[in-house]
Amino acid sequence: MFEAFRPFKTSSYTLACMTRAQSKIQSIKILTIGQGLNTIINILFLPYLARTMSYTEYGSYGQTLLVVDLFKTLLMMGLPQLVFVFLAQKKLSEKTIISNSALSGFLLGIAGLLILSLSSPIVAQLFNNERLRTLITIYACSALFQLPAVNLNSVFVFRHHVRKSVIIQVLGNIVKIGLVFVSVQFYHSLEYVMISIVISFAFQFFMSLLFLQNDIQLSEMSFKSFIGQINQGFPLGLTGVIGAILLASDGYMVSSFLTLEDYAVFRNGALEVPFISIIYGSIAAIILPEVSKLFQQNKLNEIVELKRLTIKNTAALIYPIMIFLMYFSKKAISFYLGEMYTESGIIFMIYTFALFIRVNDYSDVLISAKKTTIVLIAYTSALIINIALNILFIQTFGSKGAALATIISLFVLAGIQLVYTIKILNVSFIDFIDIKSIIVVFIVSGSLLPIMDLFLTTTTHVIPIACAVSIYFLIIYISLYKLKIIDRRIVLTITPKWLSKWV
């Protein structure tokens, strides 16, 4: 039954899709490298913040980001994703689309700043943290710059100018980390930390304007087009905020039901796995515009082949690390953040299981098919389930229950969208996902865990552990490559030329 997908392998549209995939892999590589640099910076910096700040300071820092980032998600109105659709449809000139995308982001940023500033006293009272009044007002200024910058970043990705996107993000992150370090180390000021983050977003925005200065013209901007974009983007914007609430609701409820110290412990466990999340994010960023183009051309079979290939290879890259980190979650968190946050280990293990479904963008086909209502229904259903489970599980299991509730709701979210995606593409589940390959990935990934566990109990030195872990993953990925689970083109793309003859 695993050969049910065979007709897709030799057709002409599959060959065209595979040829196009080579350039996509190159773009994914560039974007992943850039995001990897950002992640390295953050990996080195997060332990510094966790160790330098008190529970109260770190909790206030996290609550500020939680509130403002959630509202900014609503304000984005789904426009970053819709930029791909607008550019693919070619109903308007690119200059008109780009100019109005910048205008839309800026105007929505102004609205966000006003609303967040006025509502900050209410939020401070809700969280019983008076310091949030000032922190939220300062950080809300970032909406003026981040919202248009995100829209313009979609333009870079659509045009395959991924290097420009990477340069902007990496330099912006370096500016942020540098200023935050000065704010914490020399001024011990959370207010300065928030100002630093605002400055970094402003830097990214003006860098985007610099690269797109010939495409952004005041004469191309119109309030009518702005309203049109808002009307089309509202369902996705509402979906985005529901999705953000879905991911943040556990944090809100832990803050409400438990102590600020409990929230700090929870937040440091509820981490996206470094590098792994950026692999998925980079792939999704490149694949979405491609799916939009193929759907406009009614090439559904090419979409199926592209998605199947992407899911299989993403799973081969992500699942081995997911399995490893779940197995050694408590040791990993203690080593990374210190013994102070040992309790965060179990929360980290639960959240890491989310990587099981982070091998596919479940909304891209639905967005391309203009079935945003289905996406909205899926997110709303998952949110309702998440809130109900949070209330039940937090009372029973504490902060660990919040993590469990979120994972269950994320699987519901993915399942609903996957069912409708398969229906639109008119294929079966087995056609869409290479189950046999995924089973092989699990078997290969788990086979060496007992040996690694035995080794890690005999030493606590960093260098031997690093060498052993490197060898462990090298054996797994070579095995998956030899078994033809990992696509050869991916290996050739990321391998230096002097080593390519051995691939």
Structure confidence by residue, pLDDT tens digits, 116-151: 999 999 999 988 889 999 999 999 999 999 999 988
Query: Which structure tokens are listed for 401?
Result: 């229950």
Confidence of residue 498 (pLDDT cuts 50, 70, 90): very low
Q: What is the mean pLDDT of residues 84-98?
A: 76
Distance CA 334, CA 456 (A): 14
Position 405 pLDDT exceeds 80: yes
What is the number of other CB atoms lying within 10 angstroms of the CB of residue 296?
A: 13
Minimum mean pLDDT range among 74-78, 168-172, 383-387? 74-78
Domain range list for the chain: 22-221, 234-503
Which pLDDT score is estimated for 39? 58
Which pLDDT score is estimated for 322? 87
Mean per-residue pLDDT over the chain, rounded: 77
279, amino acid identity = I
Distance CA 177, CA 166 (A): 16
Query: Which structure tokens are listed for 449?
Result: 């865990």
Per the CB < 8 A criterion, the answer to whether 76 and 229 are in contact is: no
Q: Is 258 helix (H, G, I), strand (E, B) or coil?
A: coil
Q: Higher model confidence: residue 285 or residue 238?
A: 238
Position 390 pLDDT exceeds 90: no
Position 502 pLDDT exceeds 70: no
Q: What is the mean pLDDT of residues 33-47?
A: 59
Residue 73 sits at the vertex; the CA angle it makes with 71 and 76, to the nearest 5 degrees, is 115
How many C-alpha atoms does 192 have within 13 Å on its Cβ side? 13
Distance CA 75, CA 405 (A): 26
Distance CA 38, CA 212 (A): 23
Which pLDDT score is estimated for 281? 57
How many C-alpha atoms does 23 have within 13 Å on its Cβ side? 11
Position 40 pLDDT exceeds 70: no
96, amino acid identity = T
Which pLDDT score is estimated for 1? 26
Distance CA 334, CA 348 (A): 11
Which pLDDT score is estimated for 488? 66
Residue 47 sits at the vertex; the CA angle it makes with 282 and 194, to the nearest 5 degrees, is 75
Which pLDDT score is estimated for 9? 36
Spatial CA neighbour of 347 closest among 400, 417, 276, 308: 400
Which pLDDT score is estimated for 16? 44
Q: How distant, in Å, are the alpha carbons of 57, 348, 444, 456, 472 from that of 344?
A: 18, 6, 28, 20, 25
Distance CA 323, CA 438 (A): 13
Distance CA 181, CA 40 (A): 15
- Determine if residue 11 is left, alpha or beta; phi over 0 gives left, psi from -120 to 50 gives alpha, anything else beta: beta
Which pLDDT score is estimated for 285? 58
Position 185 pLDDT exceeds 80: yes
Minimum mean pLDDT range among 135-139, 345-349, 392-396, 425-429? 345-349
Structure confidence by residue, pLDDT tens digits, 22-36: 455 555 555 555 555
Query: Which structure tokens are listed for 346?
Result: 């179990």
Per residue, what are the HEC states of 58-116?
Answer: HHHHHHHHHHHHHHHHHHCCCHHHHHHHHHHHCCCCHHHHHHHHHHHHHHHHHHHHHHH
CA Rg, the chain, in Å? 23
The secondary element (H helix, E strand) that includes residue 286 is: helix 276-296
Query: Which structure tokens are listed for 415?
Result: 């399942």
Check the CA dihedral 420-435-17-233 and report its sign.
positive
User: In the chain, what are the helix, strand and coil shares in percent, each to the nearest 5?
Assistant: 85, 0, 15
Which pLDDT score is estimated for 500? 47
Structure confidence by residue, pLDDT tens digits, 437-484: 999 999 998 888 888 877 777 766 678 778 888 888 889 988 888 888
Which pLDDT score is estimated for 427? 87
Structure confidence by residue, pLDDT tens digits, 303-312: 888 888 888 8
Q: Is 299 helix (H, G, I), strand (E, B) or coil?
A: coil
Q: What is the mean pLDDT of residues 41-70?
A: 76
Per the CB < 8 A criterion, the answer to whether 251 and 270 are in contact is: yes
Distance CA 150, CA 72 (A): 11
Per residue, what are the HEC states of 371-439?
Answer: CHHHHHHHHHHHHHHHHHHHHHHHHHHCHHHHHHHHHHHHHHHHHHHHHHHHHHHCCCHHHHCCHHHHH
Which pLDDT score is estimated for 196? 93
Position 315 pLDDT exceeds 80: yes
What is the number of other CB atoms lying within 10 angstroms of the CB of residue 339?
A: 9
Confidence of residue 46 (pLDDT cuts 50, 70, 90): low
Q: How distant, in Å, are the alpha carbons of 30, 171, 278, 442, 503 from that of 39?
A: 14, 13, 8, 26, 28
DSSP 354: G
Q: What is the mean pLDDT of residues 261-283?
A: 61
